[in-house]
Amino acid sequence: MTQRARTDVEEPEPGGRPAPDPAHRGLTAAEVAERVARGEVNDVPVRSSRSTTEIIRSNVFTRFNAIIGVLFVIILIVGPIQDGLFGFVIVANTGIGIVQELRAKRTLDHLAVIGEARPTVRRDGVAADIPTSEVVLGEVIELGPGDKIIVDGEVLESDGLEVDESLLTGEADPVLKKPGEPVMSGSFVVAGGGAFTATKVGRQAYAAQLAEEASRFTLVHSELRTGISQILKYVTWMMIPTAIGLILSHLYTLNLTGDEAVRRMVAGIVPMIPEGLVLLTSVAFAIGVVRLGRKQCLVQELPAIEGLARVDVVCLDKTGTLTEGGMDVSSLRLLAPATEETASGGASGTDTAPHEPDESYVRQVLGALGESDPRPNASLQAIINSYPAAQGWRCTESLPFSSARKYSGASFNDPDGESSTWLLGAPDVLLPAADPALREIDGLNAQGLRVLLLARSERELDDAAVARDVTPTALVVLEQRLRPDATDTLRYFADQDVQAKVISGDNAVSVGAVAAKLALPGAQEPVDSRKLPAETDAMASALEEGAVFGRVSPRQKRDMVGALQSRGHHVAMTGDGVNDVLALKDADIGVAMGSGSEATRAVAQIVLLNNSFATLPSVVAEGRRVIGNITRVATLFLTKTVYSVLLAILVACWQIPYPYLPRHLTLLSTLTIGVPAFFLALAPNTERARPHFVRRVMRYSVPSGVIAGGAAFATYLLARAHYRGPDALAAETSTATLTLFLTAMWVLAIIARPYTWWRIGLVLTMGACFLVVLITPWLQHFFDLKLVGTTMPWTAVAVAVVAAVLLEVAWWWVGRRAPA
């Protein structure tokens, strides 16, 4: 776990840290150019979105586009072109879907470049940060805590290098890597540092081979997508028998001509297909990505927007989420030396402590500890800022910080030639439970301060018991910087019935004090996670009762996520450190900070590039907008599907011609569904996300469709009894179309609630467009619509009024019976 300095090879740098091995100077510029020419470059791009070809293919080559295309070709053959207008609507919708998703792709790709980590490589003996795609075979790449290993390689240097390979092997325990041992792409560094040489790059690397089988663009579970697919499957099953029944009825029972029978059959089939619903869902997600992109929020998987909106528990890591990444040293408190009575093993105090350290000496020790770590964390960086390295201190051995053991350490030769070993870490881990210093530490933690213990050990760093029986020397008190927006964000989640759980590796009392300053409910009773039960159900009960948990290990964070999920919770996890990776990966939605480690950004579905916790409410709101609006427009689409199926069944049972031509239903679909749905899908919506999408949509669309279809068919029957003569069918169709349009408009008016000026304007505009068609001669001819007389048109209006009343009653009744 430790690495000794190479005193026989090189002189140490000022401050005591060994210089890089001169034998590992990296490639020369000529060698890099030669490898680039041979194509030995890490040319596998990090895919944050689908390719342009995939976007076009997925929007164009769909099952329903194929069905619509076949029907469109049939209409082109039998004519007239007016009855093929539905084909052009599909082209328009598909085009909108492609444009919006390409727009989202540009946003994703741009943000991915901004958020992409740049590995540090050595070239000509100089360390430099370069893009991942410019790494070549044989490159010497430096590593530090949190760095993701981007290509396969072999370790050259190791300074306590510990690598987590859990994303590849499933094993959570970090692996100590020594020179000569392999490292695989896709793993990441949890402690220590070092360097390795790239042995496989590009598509030959292990992670790239995995990516070929499962790309980054694999969608998280989306209830919307799953529900819509289920609906479309049922519609497909209904279409085939309906089409056969309509064509046979018109040909052999009604003795219509072949062309007329085909047109009526197509008219009955086309409105059954909710063709725009899938495209509008993609458009809504894509526009959500663009909107969030403007706020520096990278959504790596589109349905993650929906997923976060459904979350009911948010697990927050304190450091970097509730507090800013930086810290400041508030004070340095020397501890009284141990007396002979308290010294361990009966040895005298002078044996365990060669001399009583004064503040100046302690400051030098802290400066040397800071200088011994090439990749300091936030706590150690605060110490480095306050206590610069002193001359004459030589680091002979170092132990990097690990979130599992909660301390780091180093051995030194000081200016007087004396050897000493020092540890810096969590006081409650380094001190026995009865130590009197813990009372003072608890008081500091209760103020929201973070406390580190500096202690001297008489054991070697590679001794497993190095932290046992240490001599406490000083307390380093750190003050954390609270995020100014954290209070409002926590209040937002509380208002939205989303539970916030603070899960941190820090001392529970300290974490509770920070959470209390942010007014988090339950912060007054923090829980030390080392006392939590390991059994899943018992842990879940404790998690549901508590709000603040300290001293949580990386594996325990993962267990906590699983325990909450076992109780049916949808869990989001935020984090920025490597200790959060496993929990981020298992959570329903992982949210990483842009300044966090590359490993966390790689596994998270959402990356906050501006490192602002306050962006999360925007993501939740965007998800709720998508869910609420798609539920609205899905009701519109499926209402049309229901009344189309009902009309087809009634026509077949009554053995009468289908009342509509394709052009009529294209006009109705455009004005009552297509255009309004596009605007409604993108409108603001703050409704809370609720489960059971299919059930909720069908609960409203089935009665709406039955009422609309029944009203239209009743008007059609009345018109058949009223009109006579060779042009009777056209008059009957026009009257039935008026009833269906007015009823469908009332469904639109209900769905558009609550009303705003633009929603009212949208409904009135659609009504005005239909009126224009009715009063414009050439449009009457084009759509074959002309109201004859006054009796039946007013009868059609009266039937629509009755249908509107029934719709209001049905929606009221369904709303009362619907679960909250």
More confident residue, 197 or 481: 197
User: How many Cβ atoms sit within 10 Å of the Cβ of residue 101?
Assistant: 26
Phi-psi region of 672 (alpha: psi -120 to 50; beta: other; left: phi over 0): alpha
| Angstrom distance (rounded) from CA 631 to CA 691 | 11
CA distances from 108 to 116, 208, 614 (A): 12, 20, 20
What pLDDT is recorded for position 676?
92
Per-residue model confidence (pLDDT) at position 173: 66
> What mean pLDDT is predicted for residues 624-637?
86
Matching fold, domains 52-105+219-291+620-817 and 324-482: no
Q: Kindly report the CATH number that applies to the domain delimited by 52-105+219-291+620-817.
A: 1.20.1110.10
The whole-number average pLDDT for the span 192-202 is 88
Alpha helices in 155-222 (DSSP H): 166-169, 206-213
Residue 762 banded pLDDT, cuts 50, 70, 90? very high
Strand partners, 479: 328
Token pair, residue 569, equals: 């919770």
Q: Which run of H or E residues covers position 35?
A: helix 29-37
Which helix or strand (DSSP H or E) is residue 424 part of?
A: strand 419-425
Strands 120-123, 140-143: pairing is: antiparallel
Q: What is the pLDDT of residue 117?
A: 65
Q: Which of 272-276, 355-359, 516-520 is the most confident on average?
A: 516-520
pTM attached to this predicted model: 0.65
Cα atoms in the Cβ-side hemisphere of radius 13 Å centred on 323: 28
pLDDT at 494 over 60: yes
Q: Higher model confidence: residue 135 or residue 575?
A: 135
pLDDT at 154: 93
pLDDT tens digits, one per residue of 593-621: 877 666 677 778 888 888 787 888 888 88
Question: In percent, how much of the chain has pLDDT > 70?
Answer: 85
More confident residue, 95 or 219: 95
Query: For the chain, what is the radius of gyration of the CA atoms?
Result: 35
Task: Give the C-alpha separation, 216 to 44, whole Å.
Answer: 12
Contact 466, 460 (CB under 8 A): yes
> What's the pLDDT tens digit per position in 635-675?
998 898 899 889 888 888 888 888 888 788 888 988 998 88
> Model confidence at 799, in pLDDT bands (50, 70, 90)?
very high
pLDDT value of residue 5: 40
Domain borders along the chain are 52-105+219-291+620-817, 294-323+483-614, 324-482
**CATH says 324-482 is which class?**
alpha beta
Question: Quick one: pLDDT at residue 571?
Answer: 92
- Most trustworthy range by pLDDT among 233-237, 289-293, 420-424: 420-424
Contact 732, 719 (CB under 8 A): yes
Section 85-110 average pLDDT: 70
Report d(CA 673, CA 681) in Å as an integer.
Answer: 11
Task: Point out the least confidently predicted range of 243-247, 749-753, 790-794.
Answer: 243-247
- The predicted-structure confidence for 40-71, as pLDDT tens digits, reads as follows 888 765 455 567 787 788 778 776 677 777 87
Q: For residue 394, what is the enclosing H or E element? A: strand 394-402
Query: Residue ranges of the alpha helices (H) in 482-547?
Result: 486-495, 508-517, 536-545
Higher pLDDT, 224 or 200: 200
Question: Residue 535 pLDDT > 70, yes or no?
Answer: yes
| Catalytic residue list | 317
The total of other beta-carbon atoms located within 10 Å of residue 652's CB is 18
Contact call for residues 611 and 593 (beta carbons, < 8 A): yes
Taking CA 364 as the corner, what is the angle to CA 360 and CA 365, rounded to the nearest 5 degrees? 115
Which of 509, 49, 487, 89 lies closest to 275 in space, CA to CA?
89
Fold of the domain spanning 294-323+483-614: Rossmann fold (3.40.50)
Average pLDDT, whole number, for the chain?
A: 80
Task: Quick: pLDDT tens for 437-485.
Answer: 888 888 888 887 888 999 999 888 888 888 888 889 999 998 877 888 8
Which residue, 408, 399, 460, is CA-closest to 430? Answer: 408
For residue range 694-722, list pLDDT tens digits in order. Answer: 888 888 999 999 999 999 999 999 999 98
The yes-or-no verdict on residue 569 having pLDDT over 60 is: yes
Secondary structure of the chain: what % helix, strand, coil (to 5)? Answer: 55, 15, 30
Residues 6+ apart with CB under 8 A from 416: none
Distance CA 192, CA 164 (A): 12
- In the chain, pLDDT over 90 holds for what percent of residues? 17
pLDDT single digits (tens) 344-396: 433 334 344 445 678 888 999 999 888 887 777 778 888 888 888 878 888 88
Amino acid at 624: R
| Reported confidence tier of residue 7, pLDDT bands at 50, 70, 90 | very low
Alpha carbon distance 119, 131 (integer Å): 7
Q: Which residue has the higher pLDDT, 583 or 48?
A: 583
Average pLDDT over residues 540-558: 88
Q: Mean pLDDT across the stretch 231-253? A: 78
| Whether residue 343 has pLDDT greater than 90 | no
Q: What is the pLDDT of residues 773-795, one digit of tens each?
A: 999 999 988 888 888 888 999 99
Q: Note the pLDDT of residue 337.
A: 63
Q: How confident is the model at residue 554 (pLDDT cuts 50, 70, 90)?
A: confident
Place of tokens 């939605």: 589
Check residue 211 and give its pLDDT: 45
End-to-end CA distance of the chain: 55
Answer yes or no: is pLDDT of 217 > 60. Answer: no
pLDDT exceeds cutoff 80 at 537: yes
pLDDT at 315 over 80: yes
DSSP state for residue 8 in the 8-state scheme:
T
Separation in Å, CA 534 to CA 316, 404, 562: 21, 17, 12
Please say whether the beta carbons of 691 and 223 come within 8 A: yes
Beta carbons within 8 Å of 555's beta carbon, 6+ residues apart: 172, 582
**Contacting residues for 758 by C-beta, under 8 A, at least 6 apart:** 679
Residue 308's pLDDT band (cuts 50, 70, 90): confident
